[in-house]
Each structure stands twice: as C-alpha cells, then as structure tokens.
Amino acid sequence: MSAVAIERRGAALWARLDRPEALNSLNYEVVAGLELAMDEALGAEEVRALVVTGTGRAFCAGADLDLIAGADPATGADPGSEDGVAVESGSFERFLAAVFETFRRLEALPLPTIAAINGLALAGGLELVLCCDLAVAAAGAKIGDAHANYGLLPGGGATVRLPRRVGPALAKQLMFTGAFLEAEELRHSGLLNDVVPAERLEATIDELVAAIAAKSPLGLARMKQLADDALAAPVEVGLRAELIASSLHGRSADMAEGLAAFREKRTPEFRGR
C-alpha cells in the first residue's frame, strides 16, 4: 500500500499522507508518494490545485526518527550502536537530500498548493505546511517546530521559510521552545489562511479550490512565481519583473478569453494557455 493516498476531488488532486500508525511521519515512501502526486497533478489539465493532508489525528508529525537513526525495524535500535541512537553513516544525509528536493519542488510547483491541516503538524510536518501556498487548519490542530525537543536541527527549510512566513520573533519562539501551539493561537500569525471546525475542513478546502479553479491557471502560475521571486529580490527588481510578465501575459489566450467574457457578460472558460 502507498504511504500517500492520491484522490481526484473536483478540480483538485488530494495527496493524503497515509501512515496513521506513525502519525504520518516522513519516510522515503511518503517522499515518493508526494512526488507521484505532483506528477499526476501536473499531468492532468483539469487539475487546478494540489491539496496535502493527513489520515487520522496527524497531518504530519515530522521525520520518522527510526529512519533517521538507521534503526532496525525489528528492535528499533541501530545495529551499529550500543544504545540505539547513533546515526547510520550517510543515511541521514541521503534522507535530508530527498526531503529537500521534494519540498523544493512542491514549493515551486506551478499550481496553487493547499495544506489541509487535519491534526498534528510538527517539525517536518510544519516544514511541509510552509512549502504550500495556502494553509487551512482544523480547530484544535497542534502546530510546532519541535526539532529542539530531540536535539535536532530543522532540515526541511524551517529556519528559512518560517521567519519569512511568521516573522523572526515568533519563528524563533517556535524553534527555541519546541512548543506545540493550537491552530487558533496561530490564526493571525501569517502561517494560516483560516481555522475552521474539524468537520468543516474538507468542505472549506473544496470551496477554496472551486474559487481557484474558476481563474486562469496560467495567470495563477505566473502570479505565484512573481510573488515568490519578489520575496528574495529588491522592490525595484520585483516591480520590473511584474511589468515584463504582465506584458507577456497580454499575449495569452487566457487573457483574451477573460476580456471577451467581460465584454459578453459571461463566465470565462480558461484553458491555461
């Protein structure tokens, strides 16, 4: 069975982390499942958004620590250590590299991406949220960095993405304390777009996807790229990039369709071209 269940739902492709017994912790199978979901999302013209969520009581509780420690699945101990905590040579670096590539691809995906936070989002789970464009959490979901609780450093981008998302003071608080905060406490932090009752989470995501699907996919992809690039560029550079992209977009079929629909007082039918 795949560690990520992939489902088409309206105009979205849902990638549901499906290791509930391990709180959907990240391992190579989860990474491969996320890669497959991205492949499928990009391969279907009718898919307008990718939604990442979890099964059970967790969104994702971070990396599988047994994997990081090179643990023997039967005993939970590393065969090369006396205490079961020594990290297997090279295994940690290989896993970090795999997570880095997948998270970076998700962040840059030319589709809107949405984290539907159904439960615990900790450490690598928070880092997964940070790679999504939008995030909606179920009330009661707990979110935190948690690396410091086990003497770890973030390896999935938290030290870079978290300060940009919530500001350096809150980012350092989350990283230094390892605290788990309820979604309600983070509602206005910049991390989340909304916090909704748990029973309304998927319906809220469906409504958000429907709103996105009515827009030009080409226009959204270009807006996403411009906004992301502008975060790392001087204001003047970002403004000039927007001007160039807007001029280029003026030649697109989607813009022509949007203007025609406006003139004809009808709903536009965008094709992403």
The stretches in the chain having pLDDT less than 70 are 1, 69-89
Same domain, 59 and 10: yes
User: Could you tell me if residue 270 is inside a domain?
Assistant: no
Same domain, 46 and 137: yes
Q: What distance in Å separates the CA atoms of residue 192 and residue 175, rounded to the nearest whole number?
A: 18
pLDDT at residue 88, rounded to an integer: 52
Range of the domain at 253: 217-264
pLDDT at residue 70, rounded to an integer: 61
Same domain, 246 and 136: no
Same domain, 93 and 167: yes
pLDDT at residue 178, rounded to an integer: 95
Q: What distance in Å separates the CA atoms of residue 84 and residue 68, rounded to the nearest whole number?
A: 12
Q: Note if the pTM is more than 0.75.
A: yes
Same domain, 174 and 82: yes
Same domain, 258 and 158: no
User: With contact defined as beta carbons under 8 Å apart, do 90 and 28 qualify?
Assistant: no
User: Could you tell me if residue 105 is inside a domain?
Assistant: yes
DSSP per-residue letters across 2-68? -SEEEEEETTEEEEEE--GGGTT-B-HHHHHHHHHHHHHHHH-TT--EEEEEESTTEEE-SB-HHHH
Same domain, 156 and 224: no
